[in-house]
Amino acid sequence: MADDVLRMGVDLLVVGGGMAGLTAAAFAARRGTRVMVVEKGPEIGGSALLSNGYLWTVPSLAAFRSEDPDGDTSLAQVLVGQLPALVEWVRSTGVDVSERISVLGYGTGHRIDIGAYLARCRAIVESAGGWIVPRVEVERLLVVGSSVTGARAKDARGDVLEVEATTTLLATGGFQGDRASRERYLGSEAGDGLLVRSNPHSMGDGLRLALEAGAVGDVSGRGFYGHLVPAPLAAFHPKDFLRLALLCSDRGVLVNERGERFTEEARGDHHSAQAVLRQPGARAVLVVDDEVRQGSRAPFIAGMEQLDPLGDAEAVGANVAVADSVDALAARIHTWGFDRAGVERSLGAAVGRVLSRAPFTAVEAQPAITFTYGGIAVDEHASVLGSERRPITGLKAAGADIALYRSGYAGGLALAGGFALRALT
């Protein structure tokens, strides 16, 4: 019944309580804005809370083009340009920010205590009289003419809330948690063939809400950010997301079921994860030499914990083999359903080049997704674009809900936080 609807008004309604949503909410609240954040999950933080807290991006537009030639360069300019302001904002909350460090060999940034930062954002919002409400799912945006004026939502008890808002920001973290959306936008193999290494609540709500309100989607032909992990796995939990990531794949050889190499591994594990998804069975075998295996235990980025991904892969029961020769290793790999002759040819050609020092280690690999690249079309001010690519009044979007990357990667927290600030300035 209409009388059972709780109605209220705010200046800023944020849909999603992760890095983008909480950054925008705290930034606005500190400036006297009336703010409400509604979060679908039981807790705030989203996928950011599962991250290692690296706030980084590429140093220039040229570096972005090198990493992601088909990405959106106008939005990349915002990404690059916003990092200093974002770092300064984080410092202003009282959270420690590390010295500048190199990231992935082509980016720079800082490490922050991400849990402390998100908690501080919450405290800023609530101390200013704002609201952060978990377990609330937005059903639809409120649209008057060509403007968005808020949203209609429902909480876990089924109570309905209508929030009138001058500005509504969509920050729901992508659609990787929804199998149907993965299959629709990333291909049929992205259903069963793609593990999810993110929070479970990012199911495309932001994209759905925007499209229903007349926004333009930019999803076709875009990939995802993720990593390769061992296969098969009986279970895959947040504690496994980093320790099982095969980050060393950029120094190894990947072959598909036919034993063929199919990608330029040195571009990075995040590129290879997308390439493996397109292979038969959405699987591959990663082979590294002893020097790479020993090196894989070192911190991947300055400040990161020491890892042993290949040792951990063996410990959890994934397909792992070690041999002193290519033919012996190919024989083992063949038992996993890979063509022996093809594997021998590909590995033989790599010996003395990529594979220099025996023994060699092989691990079956599969892709896992952290967030999607396709999403809502926005302009340089994070305004959601509608028909004729004109901004929809009252509607903004940030983070993994927007379409910026196509196949490359230049930071997740910077994408979220940078566009959150841009939406409000």
Per-residue pLDDT tens over the stretch 286-337: 999 999 999 998 888 878 888 899 999 999 999 999 999 999 999 999 999 9
Which pLDDT score is estimated for 4? 85
Quote the mean pLDDT of the chain. Answer: 97
Which pLDDT score is estimated for 185? 96
CATH number of 6-219+373-423: 3.50.50.60
Three-state secondary structure of the chain = CHHHCEEEEEEEEEECCCHHHHHHHHHHHHCCCCEEEECCCCCCCHHHHHCCCEEEECCCHHHHHHHCCCCCHHHHHHHHHHHHHHHHHHHHCCCCECCCEEECCCEEEEEECHHHHHHHHHHHHHHCCCEEECCEEEEEEEEECCEEEEEEEEECCCCEEEEEEEEEEECCCCCCCCHHHHHHHHCHHHCCCCEECCCCCCCCHHHHHHHHCCCCEECCCCCEEEEEEECCCCCCCCCHHHHCCCHHHHHCEEECCCCCCCCCHHHCHHHHHHHHHCCHHHCEEEEECHHHHHHCCCCCCCCCCCCCHHHHHHHCCCCEEEECCHHHHHHHHHCCCCCHHHHHHHHHHHECCCECCCCEEEEEEEEEEEEECCEECECCCCEEECHHHCEEEEEEECHHHECCCCCCCCCCHHHHHHHHHHCCC
Angstrom distance (rounded) from CA 401 to CA 170: 7
Band (pLDDT 50/70/90 cuts) for residue 414 is: very high
Q: Picking from 300-304, 403-407, 408-412, which range would have the lowest pLDDT averaged per residue? A: 300-304
Mean pLDDT, range 21-40, rounded to an integer: 99
Q: Note the pLDDT tens digit of each residue in 243-271.
A: 999 999 999 999 999 999 999 999 999 99
User: Is pLDDT of 50 > 70?
Assistant: yes
Cβ atoms 414, 402 nearer than 8 A:
no
Q: Note the pLDDT tens digit of each residue in 269-279.
A: 999 999 999 99
Angstrom distance (rounded) from CA 173 to CA 206: 8
Longest CA–CA span in the chain (Å) reads 75
Which pLDDT score is estimated for 346? 98
Angstrom distance (rounded) from CA 18 to CA 21: 5
All structural domains of the chain with their residue ranges:
6-219+373-423, 226-369
Q: Note the pLDDT tens digit of each residue in 336-385.
A: 999 999 999 999 999 999 999 999 999 999 999 999 999 999 999 999 99
User: Is pLDDT of 2 > 60?
Assistant: no
Mean pLDDT, range 78-107, rounded to an integer: 98
Domain 226-369, CATH class in plain words = alpha beta
Which pLDDT score is estimated for 105? 94
User: Is pLDDT of 86 > 50?
Assistant: yes
Which pLDDT score is estimated for 3? 59
Mean pLDDT, range 131-143, rounded to an integer: 98
Instruction: Work out whether the CA dihedral 49, 236, 195, 290 comes out positive or negative.
Output: positive
Mean pLDDT, range 217-243, rounded to an integer: 97
Band (pLDDT 50/70/90 cuts) for residue 1 is: very low
| % of the chain residues with pLDDT over 70 | 99
pTM of the model: 0.96
User: Is pLDDT of 92 > 50?
Assistant: yes
Mean pLDDT, range 111-121, rounded to an integer: 98
* Selection from 238, 233, 242, 343 nearest residue 284 by Cα: 343
Work out the angle at residue 167's Cα, subtended by the Cα atoms of residues 161 and 170, and round it to the nearest 5 degrees: 75
Which pLDDT score is estimated for 14? 99
Which pLDDT score is estimated for 391? 98
Q: Rounded to 10 degrees, what is the CA torsion of 198, 199, 205, 210? A: -60
Cβ atoms 352, 270 nearer than 8 A:
no
